[in-house]
Structure 1
Amino acid sequence: MLHLLRIDLKKMSSYRTFWVVCGLYFLTLGFGAASGMEFLKWLASFIDGFGQEININRIPLYHFPDVWLNLIWCAGLLKVILAVMVVISITNEYTYRTLRQNIIDGLSRGEFLLSKILTNVLLSLMSATMIFVIGLVTGMIYSPSLEWGRMVTDLEFLPAYFLEVFFFLSYALMLGILIQRSGLTIILLLLSQLIEFIITSNVDDYLPGLIPFFPMESIRNLITFPFPRYAFSEIRDYISPGAVAIVLAWTLVFNYISYRKLKRSDI
């Protein structure tokens, strides 16, 4: 398996786009998280200038344990950047015929797909690891209390974030294999949530119970929007086993469709 991973990483690392997109993603992730509190302080001082006093330090955005869910939800918005890179990677396989060459050289279609899936796992793991490091550092800087119990509370959202990213990268991989054109695939990827919203808006009138089972809705249910709690609204501050099961099922479906398409297609 490591051999297959090395093969795919060697191909991807030869693309300048790979380094640009990965650099953009991780820099945005790190800089956004690290500068978020300073931005909020600037915003509070700006509002103070209009006679409204706000003490941003009293809002525990970066305090343990709130920091985990807040960072993880915000980081989930950036997963589309990694997904674009996955799309470019798989569509380049068709454009430059490297997929055909890999098969000629003795790699089975299943092994080729596994190399892509392993790369998605690695990217998801790297992203989750970076969020852990950022959350730990920022939490230790801004939290008034560093009790161990508070530091590890809500850490279960980290594996959920890994699953969310892997789900979306698997979806991007499937679209790339089905469409095989980077531009069209990226457009469809970016419009996926809008398309699903239009569908679910119509389904809601007849079968509202089906909505949580739609793919994009399932990842929204996996990690819920955390900020209403600061307006004294209730949120779900735990991982729903049902949401995990739906996301896992869709992830398996995406990778299975990719496998069936690769098995049947003429490369």
Structure 2
Amino acid sequence: MAGVTPTSSGTDWGKAHFESIYNCPDPRRYFDTLHPLAYQIPHHGQAVFRALADALRRRRGDRPPLRVVDLCCSYGVNAALLNHRITLDDLYHHYVTTDPHALKGDALARADRAYYAARRLPGAARVTGIDAADRAVGYAVAAGLLDHGFAENLELEAASPTLHQALAGTDLITVTGGVGYITARTFARLFDCLAEPPWVAAFVLRTVSYRPISALLARAGLVTERVTTRTFRQRRFADEAERRAAYEALAARGLPIGGKEADGFYHAELYVSRPAADVAALPLAELLPAF
């Protein structure tokens, strides 16, 4: 859920609402709030997205930098982890503070621009972020995490002409938990802007069905595979009411909680969508051998 901003679709599985942390001038409140809940899905995303990016670079040869679109990008957390020598724990250490004199807002964004520039990986991907939270997107652009940032809600409106142009040549679309807040409608509007279908990597909470999106991606020419060897912890349940609601949602989907949500955490599944030729040339088990 790195960067989830609720849309008009809302949620229907009793998830706790953290709207107040997703559109602040900087990420400190976001990390302060989520740290006690052991929020960790961006950590899992880092390993997966880097593996996919490396495979795409090998496939593309000497073309210009990889072009990634991060949905529900919020403060640019996924971009930070993809393109820099940092970990999620580093980000918690960087942003979780009790210092009342700590930099805030624009001042923090300016300082963070230097912080990230010093840790930038060679051959970094060009990242376009999309999120309805305008201040969060603005911070991510100011801090140098996003090459392009768009505060647009594709659940409600088609992509702007500027976003349409920025999406050209997209190689990979990533999302770490926004599915459920965004639906197949967002993906349809994205794919309306793309001449060729990119790869898509989505972490999706088990309380939510990915079927409508995978069906849309199939119509766009992509084969969707799910990693079946494991699930990925997202964060702890915020309270007992949220836990009960999650269990009810999982029961409605016919999914057991043993060995998964019974541990007190939301669990996500990983879906990877690619053209059929890429699936045949590089099986998922070889693409993501560590998972």
Q: TM tier, shorter chain?
A: under 0.3
TM-score by length of 2: 0.21
Structure with the higher fraction of residues in helix conformation: 1
Structure with the higher fraction of residues in strand conformation: 2
TM-score by length of 1: 0.22
